[in-house]
Structure 1
C-alpha cells in the first residue's frame, strides 16, 4: 500500500504577525496577509482550504468561509530571523536557523570585486545615486536583493541568452565565499536583455541598490535559479535523511531551487497551474516517500502588492488541492502551510513576519488541534517520524496528534 507525506507551501501566506514582530521587524506588527486579502475581497471562497481548516487556523470566519469541524489544524511560528523564503524552507526541512550578518552590498562590493578579479573575472562598478554594484563578465550583475529583508541577501542576475547559467552560478559561488549574508541568489531567464535588467534597477532607503526580480523579466521564460545559504547543512534535513534511508523525495516549484535533494527528484517551475498539475502527477507516481511543493506565485503577488493577484493564485491552488484530495489513502498525510507572510497591503513589497497556517489532512482523522507550533521544523520532524528514520536537526513531530 502507498504511504506518502505531501507538503504544499503557499509561499508568503501568513495569518497574522508574530508576537516578536514589533521588536524583530518594526512595522510588521500589524501584518496579516489573509486579512488584507479578505478585506479587499470579502467574497473570497477557497472550498478545499476551508474544509481543511484555513479559517480555524486564522481564528475568524468570513461571510463566505467558515470554521470546519472536521479539520486538523494549528499554526507555526518562524524560528528563522526575519521572514525569508530560503531560510523558511531550510527550517521546514529541519534546519536549526543560524543568524546571518546584515550588510548592504555597499559594504562588501570592494571585497567581492577583488575576489572575483583574483579568480580571473572581468569586473566593473555600476554607479547610481552615490551607490554602486558590480557587472561581472559583461552580463552578470551582483547587487542587493530588494525583495527579502534588506541587507540579508544579494542577487546575482543575468540574461541567460547572453551567458550560460553554469557560468553565472560559478560567479555566484565566488561571491558566497566572501560574504556572510543569509543568501546569495543566482538566477536568470531567457528572452530578456541587459536593457531589461537596467530598467529593473531600483534604489531603496538610499542604501540599497539592485535589480528588482519581478521587473527583470527573468521569470517569464527559461527561468533557472539556485540559492546559496549561510550555515545550512543538508545532512541534517529531511530530504537527505529520507533518501539515504531508501525513501523517495520529490521537490516541486521554488523549493526545488532552494533545498538540497541530491538523492531525490527536483522539478523547478513557477506557474501555479503547472505546479499543482505536477503535484498531482507526482503524487500518483509516488509509492513510499515525501513530496514537497512550493506555490511561488502567492509570494510574487505579495511582492506586487496586489490582493487581486493573490486571490486569483489562491483560487488556482485551492482547485489543485481539491483535485489532490481524492487521490489520498488512509496511509497518506497532506500538509498545507506557508513559510512567512507577504501582506500586500502593508505598505511595502517585502515579506512580513507572520505566523503561518498548519492544515493537516489524514483520512479518518478529524477535529485535532495541533496548537501553536514554535517552528516550521516541526514539519521536517514529522516527515522523518512518519517514515521511521532518524530525526532532523530541529523540530518536534506532531504525528502523536494524528491518532484516533
Structure 2
C-alpha cells in the first residue's frame, strides 16, 4: 500500500535535488497539534522517528524502518518501478516549458492550438485558461515539474474521447528521446466558469512500459494474482497486472482494498492512494494533507481488522511532497516502511534499506519467485519479519 508522497524526510542526497530539509510527515505533524493518527502510531510510525505533538506507542505492534531511493529521480514512476526491482539511472525528462518543436508537432497532429505550456497547479491553470479553452477549443497543456505532460479538456465542450485522442498523439510524440516524459496525463474537468471548475475521476495516464522484468511479472508468470488498486495499472502500463481496479479517491481505494480481503485469492494487492500527492502535496495544502492522513488512518484500522492470519500488510510511500516546501514539485526524501500481520508476534525496528527494491525482494521471497537483479540488493541484508 503506497501512501503517495508520504515522505519521512532526511534523504541522504536531498541537497543534490534542492530538497535538503524537506520533511513531509515531520512538517505536517509540526503544523498540526491535534493530528489524530493512532493506527499509524500503533504500527510504529512514532517509533520510527520523532513527530511533533505525537507520543510514540510504548509497544508498537508493527515492524518499522526507512527506505532510501537508489534511482535518479523523485517521481511516482521512478519510486514504484524501483519498488518492483527496476533502478532508473537516467532521470525521465522534465520541462519547464515544452520545446517549440514538440508544441508545433502536437498542434499539427491534433488540429488544436496549444495554450499554457508551463509548470502550474492543475486547479490554478483551469481558473486561468479554461474559459479560453471552452470558448475557442484550444488545448491546455502544462506540467508539474515532474516528468509529465498534462492536457486538460472540458468533458462537455472538448469531449472526453477527444481528450484521450490528443493524449495518445502526445504520448506517441514524446517517445522521442529528446522529448521522452514518464507519463502523459489526460486531465478532464467539468464546469462553465471560474470558481466552478472541478477535475473529474476520468483521468487517464499514458505511461512508458517498464524497461525490464519486475516482481509483478514474476508473480504473474508464476500464476499468482496481481491486483492493482488506483493508478498502479497506469504506472506499469498494465505489465504484470492480472486485474485492475480504478479508484476515484484515496478513500475509495482504501474501501476497495478492504473489500478485497473478503475474496479468496493468492497473490498481491498493490494499492496506490494518490490524493495525498495530487490534492494536497502539489497544492501545498497542509491542513488538507493532514486530514487525508487521518481518514487513511481510520480505514487502515478497518483493514487490519479484516486481514487473515497469513496476510501481510506493507505500508510505504514512493517519494515526498512536503506541503510546506517551496514550489509545487515532489521532494527527495526517505520513505517509511511499516509491516504488520495478524500472526506477527511482536513489533520492532527494521534495518534501514538503501533501495525501495527491498519491498520487491520481500514480496518475491514470500511467494518464492525470482528476486530483482539490482546491484544494490546483492549486498543488502534481506528484510526479516
In the superposition, the TM-score normalised over structure 2's length comes to: 0.83
Q: Give, in whole Å, the separation in 1 of the partners of 2:117 and 2:224.
A: 51
Conserved? CA contact 1:336–1:358, under 8 Å: yes
Q: In the TM superposition, what are the counterparts of 1:12-31 in structure 2 within 5 Å?
A: 12-22=5-15, 24-26=16-18, 28-31=19-22
Can you list the C-alpha shifts for 1:21-60, whole angstroms capped at 9, x where unaligned?
A: 11x212x111111121111112312111111111122245
Q: In the TM superposition, what are the counterparts of 1:2-401 in structure 2 within 5 Å?
A: 8-22=1-15, 24-26=16-18, 28-59=19-50, 62-66=53-57, 68-100=59-91, 102=93, 104=95, 106=97, 108-114=99-105, 117=108, 120-126=109-115, 138=137, 140-143=139-142, 145-146=143-144, 148-149=145-146, 152-161=147-156, 162-163=158-159, 164=161, 165-178=163-176, 179-192=178-191, 217-218=198-199, 221-229=200-208, 232-233=210-211, 235-262=212-239, 263-299=241-277, 300-362=279-341, 363-394=343-374, 396=377, 401=384
How large is the Cα RMSD of the aligned pairs?
3.0
How far is the alpha carbon of 1:128 from its aligned partner? 8.4
Q: Which runs of 5+ in 1 are unaligned?
A: 1-7, 200-214
Q: 1:381 to 1:112 in 2, by over 3 A?
A: farther
Can you list the C-alpha shifts for 1:320-345, whole angstroms capped at 9, x where unaligned?
A: 11011122233211001111111111
Can you list the C-alpha shifts for 1:247-285, whole angstroms capped at 9, x where unaligned?
A: 111111232332233541112224222111101001221
Q: Which runs of 5+ in 2 are unaligned?
A: 119-128
Q: 1:127 to 1:18 in 2, by over 3 A?
A: closer
Conserved? CA contact 1:89–1:339, under 8 Å: yes
Conserved? CA contact 1:249–1:261, under 8 Å: no
SS at match of 1:309: helix
Conserved? CA contact 2:115–2:139, under 8 Å: no
How far is the alpha carbon of 1:72 from its aligned partner? 0.7
Conserved? CA contact 1:253–1:275, under 8 Å: yes
Q: 1:191 to 1:393 in 2, by over 3 A?
A: farther
Q: Give, in whole Å, the separation in 2 of the partners of 1:43 and 1:115.
A: 49
Q: Give, in whole Å, the separation in 2 of the partners of 1:277 and 1:38.
A: 25
Conserved? CA contact 1:270–1:297, under 8 Å: no
Conserved? CA contact 1:140–1:168, under 8 Å: no
Conserved? CA contact 1:9–1:294, under 8 Å: yes
Q: Give, in whole Å, the separation in 1 of the partners of 2:12 and 2:336.
A: 15
In the superposition, the TM-score normalised over structure 1's length comes to: 0.79
Can you list the C-alpha shifts for 1:341-370, whole angstroms capped at 9, x where unaligned?
A: 111112332211111111001222423422
Structure with higher strand content = 1
How far is the alpha carbon of 1:189 from its aligned partner? 2.4
